[in-house]
Amino acid sequence: MLTVAAAPMFLNDQGYTRGRSPMTKKGSSPIGYRARPFGRALPRRGELLRIILSVSVLISVGGLPGRCSAQFIDKAEGQGPQLGETHVQRWVAGVIVRAVGGPCTGIKAYIPIPTDWPEQEVTTLEEDFSPGVRVSYRTVEGTVRQMVVEIPFLAPGEEAKALITTETRRRVILPPPDPSIFVLPDRRKLPRDVLPYLAVSPGIEATNSKIQSLARQLLASEGTAWQKVERIYDWVRENVKYQEGPFKGALAALTEGVGDCEEMTALFIALCRAGGIPARTVWIPGHAYAEFYLADPEGKGYWFPCQLAGTRAFGEMNEARPILQKGDNFRSSLNPRDRKRYLAEELIGTGGRPQVEFVRRLLAR
């Protein structure tokens, strides 16, 4: 048996990927994720082989950031975030498998794909599936859309693919008309689907004593709920220096004072959760940012975005890239006991030494 797990790699503000693979200049290849051939030697007949690989993410981000349309501002319902202009992008995503060193059987792959959100509308434009490949779609824990690819058999030298082309229409999020009206939510009245965003997640140590102590300090001062969350936001941006490297989590960002967009986002979320404010990670190609949850005077809750690394953006977001996932505590598709902060591409199968290529590519307009 073989297993491929694609570790999430993200482009930093300087335009380079980071992780366990060699650094790759942004835009250097039109191919998304590429897995190296499995192992150095073929397994003996009947022998099970299980290999976990870190897969380099080579995200093609050449071309324009996305066509803009609808140059107007909606009068959104309620008093929450407002929706502005629309960015349009088209992406190709999926997997290509080549059978090397013998036949491959029972291949099953899981690929995250964009789904609809209040600020995002996704349309599937094209499906390109090889004969014999079965494809289905599922939603994981309400916030992740996956393409499930099954390849029952590949003869030596054969190739199978499952690729989809999607168009994402993503709206700019503008600040609410009057941020001062919002209050910290009452935990007892939170919707069930919001409660998980007060708990611990991988790399988001919200119950750690140091994080809880800092959260109490930052939230103790006078001010509106909006101002208190913004105080957490400003503290992280002012006290954590941007530095790329392997993901270490919120506590490491606090104690070491360095981190990239993932650490900075994780620390902000951990501090919010420690203070009783729901918060979660938003994942897009090449980047991650946060959302926090506040309530209006009638008790209705709203999610507001904020970007910790890069250009200051609090309560607003002008981003063209599609939202892949929201959240940071998922069960692995291959091992339900394994919790993941991000559901990356995964593949499992038996036999041969398949070459696996996970694809995520921005199309030029």
- Is the confidence at residue 145, as pLDDT, over 70? yes
pLDDT of res. 5:
61
Instruction: Note the pLDDT of residue 77.
Output: 54
What per-residue confidence (pLDDT) applies to 278? 99
Q: Find out whether 92 and 165 touch, Cβ atoms under 8 Å.
A: yes
Higher per-residue confidence, 61 vs 146 = 146
**Residues 265-287: what's their mean pLDDT?**
98
| Each residue's pLDDT tens digit, 84-103 | 999 999 999 999 999 998 99
d(CA 101, CA 339): 33
Average pLDDT over all residues of the chain? 83
pLDDT in tens, 221-266: 899 999 999 999 999 999 999 999 999 999 999 999 999 999 999 9
pLDDT of residue 101: 86
- For 176-315, CATH gives 3.10.620.30
CA–CA–CA angle 250, 254, 256 (5° rounding): 110
Q: Is the pLDDT of residue 267 over 60?
A: yes
Instruction: Tell me which amino acid residue 165 is.
Output: T
3-state SS assignment for residue 57:
strand
Does the pLDDT of residue 200 top 90, yes or no?
Answer: yes
Pick from 48-62, 201-215, 330-344: least confident:
48-62
The pLDDT of 200-229, averaged and rounded, is: 97
Residue 350: pLDDT band with limits 50, 70, 90: confident
**pLDDT value of residue 80:** 93
Q: What is the pLDDT of residue 213?
A: 98
| Tens-digit pLDDT profile for residues 32-80 | 323 333 332 223 333 332 322 323 333 333 333 444 443 333 445 578 9
Q: Which whole number is the average pLDDT over 96-125?
A: 96
3-state secondary structure 190-203: CCCCCHHHHCCECC
Q: Please compute Rg for the chain using Cα positions.
A: 21
Percent over 70 (pLDDT), the chain: 79
**Domain range annotation of the chain:** 2-65+93-112+127-163+328-362, 176-315
**Distance between CA atoms of residues 316 and 42, nearest Å:** 52
